[in-house]
Structure 1
Amino acid sequence: MAAALTLLLIASLLQGALCGEFKASMLQTVEVLRGSCVTIPCSFEMKDGYESDLDNTSDPPRPTLTPSALKEKEGASVSLTCSAPAPCLSHPPTLTWTPDLGESVKTLQENQDKTKVQTSVVTFTASKNHHGETISCTATYNKQDGSTESAVNTSLTADISCDPCGEFKASMLQTVEVLRGSCVTIPCSFEIEDGYESDLDNTCRAVWMIDQKPVFDSSNLKTSTKNGELRGNLTRKDCTTTLNNMQPANSNNYFFRLDCVNRLKYNFAEQISISVKDDPPRPTLTPSALKVKEGTSVSLTCSAPAPCLSHPPTLTWTPDLGQSVETLKDNQDKTKVQTSVLTFTASKNHHGETISCTATYNKQDGSTESAVTTSLTADISYSPKDTTVSVCPSGPVPEGSNVTLTCSSTANPAVESYTWYRADGAQETVVGTGAVFKIKGPKDNSSFFCKTDNNIGSGRSSIIHIDVQGSDQHCGPYSGVLLLAVAGVSLSVNVLYTVCVAFLWKSRKRVKPKEVDQTYMSLDPRDRSPEYDVIAQTSR
C-alpha cells in the first residue's frame, strides 16, 4: 500500500513538472493498413499564461496598414493601404475604413509566392480635424460553410500638424482658366480661430463675391447672379464650389465669405482669379519625346485639365496604336485632370510617325465643342531591314565581262557597314566590303549575298546567282535602250552605204559622149578615157 502511494505521488510530481511549457505527447511510430484510416492519440501542454486563450474560436490574420503610422502636415495628400490575405479566392475578405475618409480603390493582387492578397487604398487630404483620430481598416471574411463571418481590424492614430492653426485662412488656387460656356470647380478649404470652432455648424453658408458683391449664395440659389453648387462640407472646412456656364463677362477675382446663423461671419482675404477663354489649354504628352528601340514596350500618357467635373474632356489617340485606359485624377492642388495611357510595342513602321492626342471638350451651354491637339514624332531605332542586292548587267553575262553588285537596306540609324560574301553551299566566304562590289571577268557561275550592320543589329540579303554565258551586255539603267540604239545606227549606216554604191553604179552607166566640135582627137591609148569606149561602141 505504501509502495502504491509512493508511485502515485511520483506520477503527480512528474505531471506537475510538465505543466507550464509547450509540449505535445504522441506515438513515435504507427503502422497503418493500406486503404484504411489511422487515429493518432495526441495530447499537449502549454504555458500557464495562455490557458485563458484556449477556446473554440479561430480568427483570421489581422490586416496590414501601410504606412503603419501617420504623421503629416495639414494639407498633405495621404494614401493609406490596407492589405489582407485572401486564401479562398471565391470568398476574398471585404475591407472597410473607419471613419469614411474618402474614396477607396480595392484590388485583388498576387504576391511573389502566387498567393493572393486583397488591398484597399484610401486617399484623402490631411486636416486639423484628423489629428488624434483613430483610423481603422476592418477585414471581414464570409465563410464557405455559411457559418458566422469573422472580422478583424488594424488601427493607427493620425498625427496631423498645421501651420498656421487657430486663425482665419482660406486655401484656394490663385488663378484658373475656364472654357467659355463650361463650368469651373474651385477647390477650397479654410481654417478659423479656435474660439469659433463650436459655431461651425449646419447653419453656415458659402458666399462667393466680386468686389464685396455676392454672386453666389449656397443657401439661396434663386438670388444668386451666378448659378452654381457647393460641393464641399463647410462643417469639415471644405468650401469647394462649382460655378456653371462661365462667360467672358465672368472673368474676375472671386473672394470667399463664411456666413453662419451665429457670431461666425468672416470675409477671407484670399482670392482666386478666374479667366474665361475661347479655347482650352492643349493636352500634355508624357514623355514629350519618343526615342526607343524597336520591340520596346511604350506607354504614352496624355493629360488634359478638367475644370468642369460634369463635362470632363474626351481624349483620343491618332493613329490607333493599341489599348488606352482613361481615368480622372486629382492633382496636388485639388484640381482634376483627365488622363489616357496608351500602351503599344514600338516597331519600324512607327518610325517618323506623328502620334497625336486630342482633347475634346463638350460645353455646358450646348455650344460647339472645342478640340485641341498635342503631337510628337516617333524616333524608333531598328536594325537593317529589307536588305536587297541589285546586279548590273542583269541576266546572264558573258565570260570575262565586269559585273557590279549594289547592296541597299533601310535602317535607323543608317547602315554603318556592308559586307559581301560568296556562297558555296554551306560555306560562306567574305569577299568584299562597301555598298558597291565589282567583279572583274568572272569565268564561272557564282552566288553572292550582302550583310548590313548598324549599332542595333544586322540584316542579310537573299542569295543572288550570276550566270556566266551569252553575249556582251552594257551596264547601266539604260543598257537595253543603248543596245537598241547601237543596232539601229549600225543598220542605218549599212543601208545608206548600199544606196550610195547603187546610185554611183547607175550613174556610170547613164553617162553620154560630150558633143565637142573637134575634127581631130588623139588616138594615143595613154589619153584614152571611158568616153572613148562609148564613142567606139557607137561607131560600130
Structure 2
Amino acid sequence: MFVLIWATLLFSVRDSSADTGVSAWGRQHCVGRYCVTLSERELTAQAGLCVVIPCSFTNADEFTPKHIVWHKCEASQTKCSDDEIIFHSNKNTDKKAQAGFEGRVSRLEPDVSQTNCSIIINDLEESDSGSYQLRVTGVRNGKQDAFSFSQRVTVSVKGLIQKATVMIPTLTEGQQATLTCTAPGLCSGSVPEITWTWRGAGGTESYITGNSTDFKTENLTAFRQRHSSTLTFNPSAEHHNTNVTCKIHFTGETTTEKTSGLNVNFNVLHVLFACKEMSGNLSVKLLVSIAAVSILVNIIFIIYFVLFWNSRKKMKPKEEEQTYMSLQKTDVLSEYDVICQSLN
C-alpha cells in the first residue's frame, strides 16, 4: 500500500495554502515542495461537448512521479476515495475509473515526467458537474508513495446552447451547390450524427431529392477534432424561399440544430427558354380558348332560337282573335260624334 504523504504535507510547517505566484498555466498552489498550477478553479462547459482541465505540478527532488490520478467527489470531502476515480494513467492497476467515465477521459501529455497533469473529458453530461481533485503517484526514496493536492477544480456542465454553423454558397438554379454544416465544439470524443432535412412550401419536412451527403472529421490536434457534413444538390425553383435544417445528435440525448433559408437565383438562359416555351404554349391555349368560346356562343344562340320558335307556335288562337278584333273596333266616344255633326 502506498504511504500517503498528503497529510504530512497538509500540516507542514510551511504555509499549506500559500500561493507562490502566477505561472504561464495560472496561479500556483503549494503544500511544502509540492505545487499544482490550475488555470481556473471553476470551469463551465456544455453537455455533449468537452472540457479541458489545464494542470501542471512540481514535486520534491526525492520524489519521482509515475502516474497521475483524477477523482471526482463532493467538495466537502477533504480527500476523494479510490471509489471516486475518473482517470488513472496506470492501466495495470486494480484501481479502475468509474464506469461512467471509462473511455471519456484522456490526458493531454502521456509522459508524466513532463509534469503536465491536464486532462480532457469528452461527451459531457450534466451529471459530470462536481469537484475534481488530482493525485500523483510515484517513488520517494525508493518506496512507492503518493500525494493529493487540496486545491481543486470545479466543473459546471449546463445544457447545450451552442448551435451548428451552416455555410450556404450562392445558389443558382440548375447549378450544383454544396452546403456545409459544422458541429459545435472541438472535441475528440464520440463522433456526432449529422442529418439534413428540408421544409418545402407546404410545410412538410423531408429530405432534399437527389442530394448526396458526406461526413468529414478534421484532426486539428491530438485531442481536438472538427466534425462537419456536406450536402450537395441541384437548386431549383421549388427550393427558393424554403428552409433547410442541419440536426446534430451527440452521445446521450443531447441534440442541437440550425435552420437556414435558401435563396435561389434563377438562370437567365433558363428563364428565357421557359418564357419562350410558355409563350408557345400560351398561343396554342389562346386559339383553343377562342374556338371553345365561339362554339359555346353558337350553341347558346341555337338553343335560344329554338325555344323562341316553339313559344310562337304554341300561342293560343283566342289570343290572336282578340288582338285582331281590338284593331277593328270603332271608337264611339261622344266627342267624336259632336265633331261629325258640326261638319254636316
What TM bracket, shorter-length normalisation? 0.5 to 0.7
Could you say what secondary structure the match of 1:211 adopts? coil
- Structure 2 vs 1, CA of residues 465 and 502 (structure 1 numbering), >3 Å: closer, same or farther? farther
Q: CA deviation at 1:257?
A: 1.9
Could you tell me which of 128, 136, 157 is aligned with 1:274?
157
AA at the equivalent of 1:317: W
Find the counterpart in structure 2 of residue 380 from structure 1: 264
For 2:149, give the aligned amino acid.
Answer: Y
Question: Which residue in 2 is equivalent to 1:352?
Answer: 241
Q: Tell me: CA distance 1:316–1:505, structure 2 relative to 1, closer, same or farther (3 Å).
A: same
More strand by share: 1
Instruction: Give the 3 Å change call, closer, same or farther, for CA 204–359 of structure 1 in structure 2.
Output: closer
Deviation (angstroms), 1:283 = 5.0
The one of 75, 84, 97 aligned to 1:211: 75
Instruction: Return 5+ residue gaps in structure 2 as ranges.
Output: 1-22, 29-35, 89-93, 141-145, 198-206, 332-344
**1:349/1:254 CA distance change after superposition, 3 Å:** same
Q: Which amino acid in 2 is paired with 1:357?
A: C
User: 5+ residue gaps in structure 1?
Assistant: 1-161, 364-368, 389-408, 410-449, 452-458, 512-525, 528-540
Q: How far is 1:211 from its partner?
A: 0.9
Q: Does 1:304 align with 2:122?
A: no
Equivalent residue, structure 1, for 2:7: none
The one-letter code matched in structure 2 to 1:211 is A
Superposed, 1:390-539 pairs within 5 Å as 461-462=279-280, 481-500=296-315, 504-505=319-320
Q: How far is 1:178 from its partner?
A: 2.2
- Deviation of the 1:380 alpha carbon: 0.4
**CA 1:477–1:300 in structure 2 vs 1: closer, same or farther (change >3 Å)?**
farther
After superposition, give the CA deviation of every residue in 1:73-124 in whole Å (9 maximum; x if it has no partner). xxxxxxxxxxxxxxxxxxxxxxxxxxxxxxxxxxxxxxxxxxxxxxxxxxxx
Which amino acid in the other structure matches residue 312 of structure 1? V
1:107 paired residue number: none
Task: Pick from 179, 182, 186 the counterpart of residue 51 of structure 2.
Answer: 186
* Equivalent-residue separation in structure 1 for 2:272 and 2:294 (angstroms): 24
- Please state whether the residue corresponding to 1:500 is helix, strand or coil: coil
Match of 2:137 in 1: 260
- Equivalent pair of 2:172/2:267 in contact (CA under 8 Å): no
- Fraction of identical pairs, as percent: 11
Query: In 2, distance between residues paired with 1:286 and 1:495?
Result: 78
DSSP-derived class of the 2:66 partner: coil
State the match for 1:294 in structure 2.
Answer: 173
Specify whether residues 481 and 187 from structure 1 end up closer, same or farther in structure 2 by C-alpha distance, changes over 3 A only. farther
| Gap change, CA 1:482 and 1:330, over 3 Å in 2 | farther
AA at the equivalent of 1:323:
S
Q: Distance in 1 between matches of 2:259 and 2:61?
A: 51
Structure 1 counterpart of 2:44: 175
**CA offsets, 1:337-376, max 9 Å, x none?**
532122334343432343222223453xxxxx66554332
Give distance in 2, aligned partners of 1:244 and 1:330: 17
For the residues of structure 2 that align with 1:478 and 1:174, how far apart are their CA atoms? 80
* CA–CA separation in structure 1 for the residues paired with 2:74 and 2:111: 21
Question: Can you list the C-alpha shifts for 1:457-502, whole angstroms capped at 9, x where unaligned?
Answer: xx87438779xx9xxx996996655554344333322322332276
Does the alignment pair 1:239 with 2:118?
Answer: yes
Length, aligned pairs only = 265
The answer to whether the 8 Å contact 1:216/1:228 transfers is no
Report 1:122-161 matches (<5 A).
none
Deviation at 1:175, TM superposition (A): 1.6
Superposed, 1:94-105 pairs within 5 Å as none
1:124 match? none
Equivalent residue, structure 2, for 1:105: none
1:315 match: 194
Note the C-alpha offset of 1:196: 5.5
2:24 corresponds to 1:163: yes
CA 1:245–1:303: 2 relative to 1, 3 Å = closer
* 2:221 is the alignment partner of 1:338: no
After superposition, the C-alpha distances for 1:171-194 in whole angstroms (9 at most, x for unaligned) are 579322225xxxx7533332335x
The letter of the residue matching 1:377 is: G
Please report how far the alpha carbon of residue 508 of structure 1 lies from its aligned counterpart in structure 2 after TM superposition: 8.9
SS in 2 for 1:187: strand
Q: Which has more helix, going by share of residues?
A: 2
CA contact (8 A) 1:187 1:335 kept: no
TM-score, reference length from structure 1: 0.38
Q: Does the CA contact (< 8 Å) of 1:216 and 1:225 recur in 2?
A: no
The CA deviation at 1:333 is 12
Alignment of 1:51-90 (within 5 A): none
Q: How has the CA–CA distance of structure 1 residues 358 and 221 changed in structure 2, closer, same or farther, with 3 Å as cutoff?
A: farther
Deviation at 1:209, TM superposition (A): 4.0
| 1:202 CA drift (Å) | 1.5
Aligned residue identity for 1:286: V
Q: Deviations over 1:490-530 (max 9, x none)?
A: 33223223322767458899x9xxxxxxxxxxxxxx89xxx
Q: What's the CA shift for 1:308?
A: 8.6
Decide which structure has the larger Cα Rg and report it. Answer: 1
Secondary structure of 2:246's partner? strand
* Aligned-residue offset at 1:228: 3.4
Paired position in structure 2 for 1:328: 217
Q: Quote the RMSD (CA, aligned, Å).
A: 5.0
Which of 1 and 2 has higher RCO (CA within 8 Å, sep 6+)?
2
Q: What is the SS of the residue equivalent to 1:312? A: coil
